[in-house]
Each structure stands twice: as C-alpha cells, then as structure tokens.
Amino acid sequence: YEDPFKACTLDGTLFINRAPLRNAIKRLSAGANPRVFAVNGPSRSGKSHSLFFIAHIEEKQRKFEKLVVDLKDEAPAKFRPNMLVRSLVRQMGRNKSVPDIPKEEDSSTPPRWVRDLADFLLGEIKDSQKLWVIVLDGFGHPNLDELTREMVRELVVRAARETLLRVVLLQYADDLLPLELAGRFEREPISAFTKDDLRGFFQSYIRMQGEEPE
C-alpha cells in the first residue's frame, strides 16, 4: 500500500521533497484550506512537476477533477479572459455551454465583463456538483492581457469562498493574490534540493519496497 500523498515516483517520474505541495493538496482535496495554492521558483526548478503530482492525486483519490491552462504555447498579450473561460468549460466536458459564454460587447464595462465571465464559470461548476481544481501555469507573465490578469484575480477571490472551486498557480505575480485573502491561500517558493531532502527521498523509496534503509 502506498499513500499517494507520499509518492516517490509519479508513473516513473521521480518526485523529491515538495512537502508544502503534498500537504496543501491533501488538505485541498479534503475540502479544507488552502483554497488557493501558489508555486514559484526559477526556471527548471520543478514547477511543472507540481502538475504531475496533482494529476497523480486526482487519479488515486478521485475527489476532484483538474482543469489545466498553460500559457507556454500562447501569446500572453493576446490571451483574453473569454479564451481562458472557454478552455475551462470545454475541459469540463460542457461544450454545449460554450456559445453562452458572455461576450464583451454585452457587458457595460470591461470589469463587469470579467465578473460576468466568472459568474458564468461558477454556474457551470455548481451545476456539475463536482470539486474542480483549476491549475494556471505561466499567468505571472508581465505581458499578460490586463483583463485576463483581472480574470485570474477574480477566480482566486471566488475560490476563497466557493465550495467547489480551488485554484493552483504555477509561476505567478504577487498581485494575483489579494492580501485580504490571507489565510485562504498558501505559497511554496521552490528551492534547490538539500542532502536531507535526498536522504529522506531514498529512505521513503526503500521503505516502499518493503525494506528498512541502513
């Protein structure tokens, strides 16, 4: 028996340390705080491995479903908030709802459009009666469309109070985490492995093979 939250490998990918992420996803999947979890670190520090771990827990626990939007292959300045919502709705399997996504011209102001989009997405989430974890990667880009940035902030605010929504930010800007939500979100700054991290990894891995490490 392997506790999925203590996994050393994720379908062959080594997963070392990351105790803050492991603990946060364990509490998040149980419906507790944090409602929002934010990961940051230098290039090639392992931020993408966070997604592997979330997918692992989704598969093993089946208590939530993840939705992932990665800006890696997008032009951040041209990625509009309706494009974000459209991607999320399609991943939820609710393609019939896509034509009903609020249009900018039908809202009185751009900020009102962002709130309309958030209302629409929350309506789809509540109608599904499932816990959804939205994983946003790369939305800390300095050239991100300002309304899309506001859309991410709105999702963070909604996740802080909505029962069926959680948000994980991979590479984020501080302005995406409003200070008034302190206590509802947690951060993990990824750092280099230490000798203790590696020692703990090998001890856990060996024990999972049914042996006691020397």
The pLDDT score that the predictor gives to residue 114 is: 98
Q: What is the DSSP letter of 121?
A: H
Percent of the chain with pLDDT over 90: 62
The pLDDT score that the predictor gives to residue 54 is: 95
- CB within 8 Å of 172: residues ≥ 6 apart: 38, 39, 40, 136, 139, 140
Q: Give strand pairing partners of 10.
A: 13
**Comparing 110 with 32, which gets the higher pLDDT?**
110
The pLDDT score that the predictor gives to residue 1 is: 53
Q: pLDDT tens digit string along 116-167? A: 999 999 999 999 999 999 999 999 999 999 999 999 999 999 999 999 999 9
The pLDDT score that the predictor gives to residue 118 is: 98
Three-state secondary-structure class, residue 109: coil
Tokens, residue 52: 């592997």
Q: Report the C-alpha gap between 45 and 42 in whole angstroms.
A: 6
Q: pLDDT tens digit string along 72-113? A: 889 999 999 999 999 999 999 999 999 999 999 999 999 999
- CB within 8 Å of 48: residues ≥ 6 apart: 137, 170
The pLDDT score that the predictor gives to residue 86 is: 98
Q: What is the mean pLDDT of residues 56-71?
A: 95
The pLDDT score that the predictor gives to residue 204 is: 84
The pLDDT score that the predictor gives to residue 47 is: 78
